[in-house]
Amino acid sequence: MKVIVIGGGPAGCAAAYTLDKQKHAVQLFEAADGVGGRTRQLHRDGFNLATGALFLMGGIYPRTSALLREMGCDAQLVPWGGAAELLDSDGARYPVSFVSLPSYLKVPTLTLGDRLRMVASMVRLMLGGGAANPFDGGDLARFDSGEDLESWSRRSLGERPYEYIVRPIMDFLYAVPASWLSTPFPHAIIRQAHRMRLSVPPGGVGQVSEWLIGAARRTELHLSTPVERVERLDKGWRVWADGQSYEADGLVMATEAFVAARLLQPHLPEAAHRTLMEAPYTEYAHVAIGYRTNPWPRHRSDIVLPVGPGETRNVGALVLHSRRHPGSVPAGGEVVGVYFNTPPLAQMSDADIEREALAETLRAFGPAPAPDFVHLFRYDRGLTIAGPGHYGRLDAVHAAMPRGVCLAGDYFSQAGVEAAVFSGERAALRLGRQLGAV
Ligand SMILES: Cc1cc2nc3c(=O)[nH]c(=O)nc-3n(C[C@H](O)[C@H](O)[C@H](O)COP(=O)(O)OP(=O)(O)OC[C@H]3O[C@@H](n4cnc5c(N)ncnc54)[C@H](O)[C@@H]3O)c2cc1C
């Protein structure tokens, strides 16, 4: 059967790979001049900068790991230890391992009571029910109590564990207040956290999509070809791109949710269209500050997470990229990635963001000469996030799709490569079942 995949981020590439494996004739249309979407790499002055995604999370990214193994690429992943320190508002520093929840229990600002409450809550979460698959919106929806993550954390863990554990981790991962997020996803991740191992492909996270599309050998790739219109035929579908039309038996829509909503509007019930249009994407900014000569070759951590009870903070995390992935910088060089929280961005100009990124870099790592470059990455729509009610609303949209169209994208769960890959593979399998044998 002929299938068209629209969108070449990790979701679309996983869909194309899966459909190609099933021997369908696949064409993938991507608006940009390369695959990868929000995981693409930017090569600048010998540095390999991550425009978006920084790392994969091994054991808790099961489908991504399985596909990388299947393609024989997993042995190439570069492991990353994720040594971090919390930088308190009074300048005190507390070493932790970003991937080890128990390491946060040693933070000296926590009392014995805080630690005991943390352990008790973790045990309750491990023993109690919860989504088995944090990337399956239907599974997550069953455990959505309507409570937000901040209220749950303050109530179950206490104020200091919220400030010194939950808030810094969430600032780094999602850059929004925990009150904007629901609980089923973080609860499911906490239950699996012992399996978390960070790693980066040698070419950066963008390489995952390149590997997938490279392994989908028969897939015809149309880059720099945004799809402009989708029409229903008696049997199948027609898409318009670059002034030409292309026909297929089925479609996988693997763009951002609002793009899928626009393209499919004539073919969707109004409620499903509105749900897709309103799927939340947050504003996001990060700054890459590059040095040809590393000013801090002996700094003891890879990640600095600013903390401080009750403080509003513009910057959520700072990462030394030579530690994350040595191959991403020229020998002897360094890039600091400065990751901003979302709420202040609406009031910040590009110049404000760059100025603050430099000041926070010096506070986190110490004195340094002027950098060789400063590169701002700013997104109107950066990360997909899920507040209470999100998973059920979005999951219901699958049932409203016309025959022969399946949706994929990280927005069914919460931003992340695994959410995208899982949804892409699932959309391909669903469509394959609808279309029947080749
Ligand atoms: C700053 C940042 C940091 C991140 N860090 C991490 C991380 O460390 N680890 C992690 O796992 N995840 C991370 N993420 C999230 C991760 O990048 C996303 O979850 C993932 O890229 C989503 O994949 P997707 O395929 O669903 O969507 P996208 O990657 O957005 O891909 C959608 C694609 O559709 C294309 N498209 C849109 N319209 C059309 C059209 N009309 N025709 C054809 N093509 C079209 C777009 O060009 C794009 O390539 C980060 C994201 C950002 C922004």
User: What is the rounded radius of gyration, in angstroms, for the C-alpha atoms of the chain?
Assistant: 22
Nearest atom of ligand 1 to the alpha carbon of 255:
34
142 C-alpha to ligand 1 centroid (Å): 26
Confidence class for position 437, pLDDT limits 50, 70, 90: low
What pLDDT is attached to residue 129? 81
Which of 119-128, 298-307, 350-359 has the least mean pLDDT?
119-128
What's the mean pLDDT in 228-256? 97
DSSP-derived secondary structure letter, 182: B
What pLDDT is attached to residue 309? 87
Bridge partners, 78 (sequence order): 200
Confidence class for position 322, pLDDT limits 50, 70, 90: very high
Q: What are phi and psi of 341, to 5 degrees?
A: -75, 155
Bridge partners, 406 (sequence order): 252
Percentage of residues in the chain having pLDDT higher than 70: 100
What's the mean pLDDT in 179-201? 94
CA distance 119 to 90: 27
- Which residues contact ligand 1 via a Cβ below 6 A? 6-12, 29-32, 37-39, 52-55, 226-227, 254-256, 259, 284, 286, 379, 382-383, 409-410, 415-417, 419-420
By most ligand atoms within 8 Å of CB, the mutation choice from 4, 28, 38 for ligand 1 is 38
Q: Whose CA is nearest to atom 4 of ligand 1?
A: 53
Confidence class for position 242, pLDDT limits 50, 70, 90: very high
Q: Residue 210: what residue type?
A: E
CA 151 to chain CA centroid, Å, is 24
CA distance 406 to 433: 11
CA distance 181 to 133: 17
What's the mean pLDDT in 391-397? 97
Indicate if the pLDDT at residue 434 is higher than 60: yes
- Tokens (6 digits) for 322: 């030579």
201 C-alpha to ligand 1 centroid (Å): 17
Indicate if the pLDDT at residue 126 is higher than 90: no
Alpha helices in 108-226 (DSSP H): 112-127, 137-141, 149-156, 159-161, 167-173, 184-192, 207-215
Which residues are part of a known binding site?
A: 30-31, 227
CATH code linked to domain 77-99+196-203+281-384: 3.90.660.20
Q: Whose CA is nearest to atom 10 of ligand 1?
A: 416
**In terms of Cα–Cα distance, which of 322, 332, 328, 325 is closest to 292?**
332
CATH code linked to domain 2-39+205-280+385-435: 3.50.50.60
Question: 101-189 belongs to which CATH class?
Answer: mainly alpha
Span 43-79, pLDDT tens digits: 998 999 999 999 999 989 999 999 999 999 999 999 9
CA 99 to chain CA centroid, Å, is 16
Domain limits, the chain? 2-39+205-280+385-435, 77-99+196-203+281-384, 101-189
